Amino acid sequence: MDVESGGVRKRPGHAPLIHKREEYFRLVDQGTSFAEASRIVGINLRTGKRWRNGRHASGGRKAVPPVNTVVPPSGPSRYLCEADRIHIADRLREKATIRAIAAELGRSPSTVSREIRRNRHPVNGQYRPYAAQVRADARRPRPKTGKIGQNPALRDFIQVHLDLRWSPEQICQALRANFPERPEMHVVHETVYQALYVQGRGELRRELARALRTGRIRRKPHRQAQQRQARFSTPMVMISERPAEADDRAVPGHWEGDLIIGKDSGSAIGTLVERATRYVMLVHLPDGRSAERMRDALVNTVQSLPGHLTRSLTWDQGAEMAAHGSFTLATDVPVYFCDPANLATRLEREHQRPAAAVLPQGHRPLGPYPRAPDRRRRRTQRPTTQNARLGNPSRAPA
């Protein structure tokens, strides 16, 4: 790599690449993010990183913007950087509004308002960007020490009252009654429980857990399994209620489905396998894999089949089937769901091999393929192609 040229080897015929590099740095100097600049120029993120490293190695510097030109800091990221805070301080001195500053930074107004409120000077209320950056950096490291661990007086108060067999909720109410003007002495009872039960991170002594009235040394959830929120708005019908004719594979028309996700979630495709004939159908999802798109694609696929071949559909509890109620109303095909640990979808997963071959290049299903099916089974049990007939499984190709 030639450092003198900023990481780009100058060879004959490479003029377009040099122009792309100049355009890339022009966008970056104007405040465009690295990813966005790479997308606009049409290069890979690694190429842009290599160019930046070469630029720094050769002593390159960003161009200084003209005077009286408002250039926003670096593009949006998860955290505000020092340049963002300097921009906020400058605009506050110019009496700019919070919404105007947020629009210039490409942030939400609540983000700028929270930044000013949390990092301004505690005495005079002025916002100083460098001091704000120091405060933000001090709050960022993890793991953090809890409120009880930072306040010895609070910790001693809780320890004393736990020895008196007070409950955490009574202790928290006593703290607010005894120290009404000291917010640093106010905690909720959940904070006390976490300090007691979290091993290796609790600020209170572990032996104090026995001082609780229950005598437990481990947290016990209060919600029972039957009280948990349902996964879907429409109640699920489990596979145990599926007709017996679907289990013995005697009658065609009972299907099993699943969703195959491509590499980096770049594509997805649904598969339908008929239990009696092993007939495989693909449900194409070119516009995404949301519940509504999956429902529409399944409705179109199922309505293309004869009525006697659409008896039931079995699926796992994937989020793509959240609209199973409206699918049943549109097709009169009941949907049965498998338990999370149930192996009822094993047959369908064995048919992901032929489905994977039709996915675009570079979008193969995630994870390893399932174990290959037993090759010693009868010839009539092998998967058929989409050109085979449903009603005659004996015509499946060898």
CATH superfamily of 237-395: Ribonuclease H-like superfamily/Ribonuclease H (3.30.420.10)
How confident is the model over 109-147, as pLDDT tens digits?
999 999 999 999 888 889 999 999 999 888 888 777 788
So what's the pLDDT on residue 95? 92
Q: Distance (Å, rounded) from C-alpha 312 to C-alpha 240? A: 13
Asked if residue 315 lies in contact with residue 343, where contact means CB atoms within 8 angstroms, the answer is: no
pLDDT digits (tens, 9 = 90+) for 10-40: 444 445 677 888 888 888 888 788 888 888 9
Q: What pLDDT does 145 receive?
A: 77
Span 201-223, average pLDDT: 59
Domain boundaries, the chain: 3-57, 82-139, 147-211, 237-395
Higher per-residue confidence, 40 vs 387: 40
The 10s digit of each residue's pLDDT in 337-358 is 987 655 444 444 444 444 444 4
User: Is the pLDDT at 232 greater than 80, yes or no?
Assistant: yes
Q: Are 129 and 81 in contact (CB under 8 A)?
A: no
Beta strand spans in the chain (E): 237-238, 254-261, 268-274, 280-284, 312-315, 335-337
How open is the CA angle 326-329-335, to the nearest 5 degrees? 75
Flag the least confident range among 127-141, 225-239, 240-254, 306-320: 225-239
Residues 373, 379, 381: CA angle, nearest 5 degrees: 55
